[in-house]
Amino acid sequence: MKHILALVLLFSAAQAAPASNPGLRGSGDLAGYSPSRDVPVKNTSVQYEPVKGQEENADKGVYLDFEDVENPQPIRGSHGGTDPGSRNNAYQRLNSDKLAPPGTDNGQTINAQWPMALSHNRLGIENSGWARQENTVVMPDATKMAGVDMRLEAGAYRELHWHVAGEWSLVLNGSCRIQAVNENGQTFVDDVSEGDVWFFPKGVPHSIQALDGGVEFLLVFDDGSFSEDNTFLASQVFAHQPKEVLAKDLGIPLSSLDNIPQDELYIFPGTPAPSNISEQNVTTSAGPISRSQSYTYHFSQQPAHRVSGGSVKIIDPSTFPIASNFSAAIVTVNPGGMREIHWHPSSDEWTFFIKGQGRATLFEAPSTATTFDYTAGDVGYFPQSNSHYIENTGGEELVFLEVLQAGAFTDIALGQWIASTPRQIVKDTLGLSDGTLGMLKTEKQYVVAGSN
């Protein structure tokens, strides 16, 4: 028995030990200190040309434009040092505030940025469109809302479906026809175009079809873990019921089901919608959905509120009551301007950048701050009551969407708070002079102007 055990142990050791091949594995003599080994000394410093603002005090935190820099370096003022290693400079140029953060950044906040360009793109059949999403899989702390960017080519459908989450949408470009039937049998159909909004409550079945020229729209769901891949699709409902049951339920011959889809359609080409929408205005004995509960709001026709640094448009249940817990603003910031420092006391903020480029500093109590850079197509996320601003860092207008899970669009602005607090309290707390306090504005600014 002892001989057998010894043979087993010997065989096991032989299996575990690597084959002896000095050319492949090197020599054990290379491990550790050797008095005869010379270590080469090589200069690894990097020659670089600082961009505007890079040599200024780090706490000033001006935006560093690395767009045309071949080899951007993680240096700001007297902080940081050169990086001679292998790097993805395309990301470094896009995210200068990550590479060389302002000196006021501290610690590590949640990740408040996700580029939709890094999301997996789900392609529709027969070149009919695509969809990509952001949820807690890629932004684990964005728990209250998730988003989908979807494109339908002319005549293409987003298949008849429903969700377990409420769906709020902003049309980014083009136009489409949407249709729905609610739990009371009331019907709805309408055409929407760039800048318009729709909302479908959870469980309400609906469809979307692109009109001539196609459409791209943004979907926001009231659940951060929502996934487009878990949608209830008409094709799948039919595919996973016994055909005898379907025929009985619908009151049709069994043979009528011979050609139902064998797989989901999701995004697929279709017969172009009739130009006369009344041809698709199907009604039941319950009638159409009332205007007060309309699933659409033609936000594109609402004038923007102009301020010194740009403009703001707000939509919430006061004007769009069916979306009872969705409040949103489209903000336009002129070059050099910024959405003022603010926070939302009643909701997280889910932000989508539509045009231009900008940056934001997310501040978490008591002393954590991270600055993020954003470009068109990015998602931002700012938790409830965490302060932030959004500054235009480019040469064109910055346009973005702020979405809240709240019955009204509200925020608290840092400037208005400080300006509306008794001066002596502010002087004792912050050390600001009377002259400085006299320059503050007691009215909310929303967007403040600045030099480019």
C-alpha to C-alpha distance for 392 and 215, rounded to whole angstroms: 27
Element (H, E) at 94: helix 89-94
φ/ψ of residue 227, rounded to 5 = -130, 135
| Helix spans in 206-328 (H) | 234-239, 243-250
Element (H, E) at 434: helix 434-437
Binding site annotation covers 79?
no
Give the three-class secondary structure for 293.
Answer: helix
Pairing of strands 357-364, 129-134: unpaired
Closest CA to 355 of 304, 300, 305, 396: 396
Residues 352-373 as b/e (b if ≥16 CB within 10 A, e otherwise) read bbbebbbbbbbbbeeeebbbbb
Binding site annotation covers 153?
no
Q: Which two tokens stand for residue 307?
A: 């301020």
What is the distance of C-alpha 335 from the center of its chain?
22
Binding site annotation covers 298?
no
Residue pair 255/186 in contact (Cβ under 8 Å)? The answer is: no
Give the three-class secondary structure for 208.
Answer: strand
Binding site annotation covers 340?
no
Element (H, E) at 93: helix 89-94
Residue 140 neighbours by CB distance under 10 Å: 12
Active site residues: 402
C-alpha to C-alpha distance for 70 and 89, rounded to whole angstroms: 8
C-alpha to C-alpha distance for 311 and 397, rounded to whole angstroms: 11
Residue pair 150/131 in contact (Cβ under 8 Å)? The answer is: yes
Binding site annotation covers 305?
no
- Binding residues for Mn(2+) are 161, 163, 167, 206, 342, 344, 349, 388
- Binding residues are 161, 163, 167, 206, 342, 344, 349, 388
